[in-house]
Amino acid sequence: MLEPTLHLDEEDGWKANTGASSFQFNGQPAAASLTTISGYGVKMSLTVLTNTDEFESAIDAFSESLQMQKPVEVNRQTPQQLSNQASPPKYQPLNTAPGKNGISLATTNFDDGWVAQPFADYVKLTKASTAVLLHYSIEVTDELRKNDLEWTLLNQIVVPRYNLSNIRKYDNDGPCYFCIYFYEMDAIEKATGKSFYIGFRVITNSGVSRCIEIISPSAQDFQRMFPDQKNVEALLNYNKFAVTEKDLIGTWEETSGAAVNMYSVTTGAYAGMNTSSSANKFIFKGNGLYESTHKGAFGMVGSMQFYSQKYDGNVKVGNWEVTLTKQFEGKTKVYWAQFEAVRGGRVLHLTNKEYTGDRFHLVKTN
């Protein structure tokens, strides 16, 4: 492969980064290009793979047809301006009531000193004099997309509870595809008058945003505990609670699906759609017994293969594992098991200890 060539364009607030390179495919010359366009909190990418210049004019015409419009300007206020208003932004007050969410073992003591507990609106982590609120996922609606998503979430979640100053945003050092959205600030809690140093990270994926609020006694304490953004993102792994047999009683289900459009690398012609879907159900009966059903389909549309399996046997529950007998070919499987607290409930995660690709993410339906 030759060294890629890079090109940067900027117009009306939009930045386009293009990289192109040649490579060998099946012993024949081919070329690839990737263009990323970012601006106003929106990102998109355009990938071209080809082994011929026959479609060059069509590719150019398509690229030139893309019109990135500048959003209509809105009157955005800074968090400090909103903080000083007599009427704070629209917001449902943070519910600080304990919320076990159906989890009996609702306190997890981690080996590194963090302690996790579920509440109605968040999971609270504590270690020494630092607290972290892992706010439950927020669906990214069209209304949220109209404005700067991360600023909006900061204004909704943090601003109503604090008087803020010295707000600083993480510098992503130019255009980026996987940007880090993080703010840090000095804060005085309105309810108590206490001073804190706040860090606020927003991680958005698959249409939902997860917000991490770090409450430190000082900037020095914050920097000591979180010298890198990887330490901040890793906090999401602490929403983890042990499983008991009593908590499992009932019906747990998951569904999933994926589809990929296929194209010939030789001709560029459409070659059909490859798809897969599955539905899994576990019923834990509370008397040491369980049953499960697993249905699905996979393959090219028009010639798909289907499967349906049903098992029943004994279940044994430890704090962090679930053992199921009489699974596929009559074998016993041992799963790592944990609850993840969510608003109003919990998700049951099961991961096969022997084959980690065999995993389930289940919600209680009955």
pLDDT of residue 91: 40
Q: How do residues 142-185 score in pLDDT, each as one tens digit? A: 888 777 888 889 998 999 999 999 999 998 876 667 789 999 99
* pTM score of the predicted model: 0.73
The CATH number fitting domain 80-238, selected from 3.40.50, 3.40.1710, 3.40.1000, 3.80.10: 3.40.1000
Domain boundaries along the sequence of the chain: 5-65, 80-238, 245-364
Taking the C-alpha atoms of residue 341 and residue 324, their distance in angstroms, rounded to an integer, is: 23
Taking the C-alpha atoms of residue 177 and residue 15, their distance in angstroms, rounded to an integer, is: 11
Dihedral of the alpha carbons of 108, 109, 114, 119, in degrees to the nearest 10 = 30
Does residue 226 carry a pLDDT above 50? yes
Q: What is the CATH code of the structural domain delimited by 245-364?
A: 2.40.128
Amino acid at 206: S
Q: How do residues 291-334 score in pLDDT, each as one tens digit? A: 999 999 988 888 889 999 999 999 999 989 999 999 999 999 99
Average pLDDT over residues 253-280: 84
Dihedral of the alpha carbons of 49, 53, 56, 57, in degrees to the nearest 10 = -160
Query: What residues form DSSP beta bridges with 199?
Result: 184, 214
Retrieve residue 339's tokens: 């609850």
pLDDT of residue 289: 97
Task: State which of 25-34, 61-70, 91-100, 330-339 shows the largest mean pLDDT.
Answer: 330-339
Identify the residue with better confidence: 37 or 307: 307
Q: How do residues 112-152 score in pLDDT, each as one tens digit? A: 999 999 999 999 999 999 999 999 999 998 888 777 888 88
pLDDT of residue 76: 45
Instruction: Mention every residue, 6+ apart, whose C-beta is less than 8 A from residue 113.
Output: 127, 128
Amino acid at 214: I
Give the confidence band of 42 by pLDDT, cuts at 50, 70, 90.
low
Write the CA distances from 95 to 9, 136, 225, 362, integer angstroms.
Answer: 46, 12, 26, 26
pLDDT of residue 49: 76
How many Cβ atoms from other residues are within 10 Å of residue 197's Cβ?
Answer: 20
Taking the C-alpha atoms of residue 344 and residue 137, their distance in angstroms, rounded to an integer, is: 12
Please determine whether the domains at 80-238 and 245-364 fall in the same fold group of CATH: no
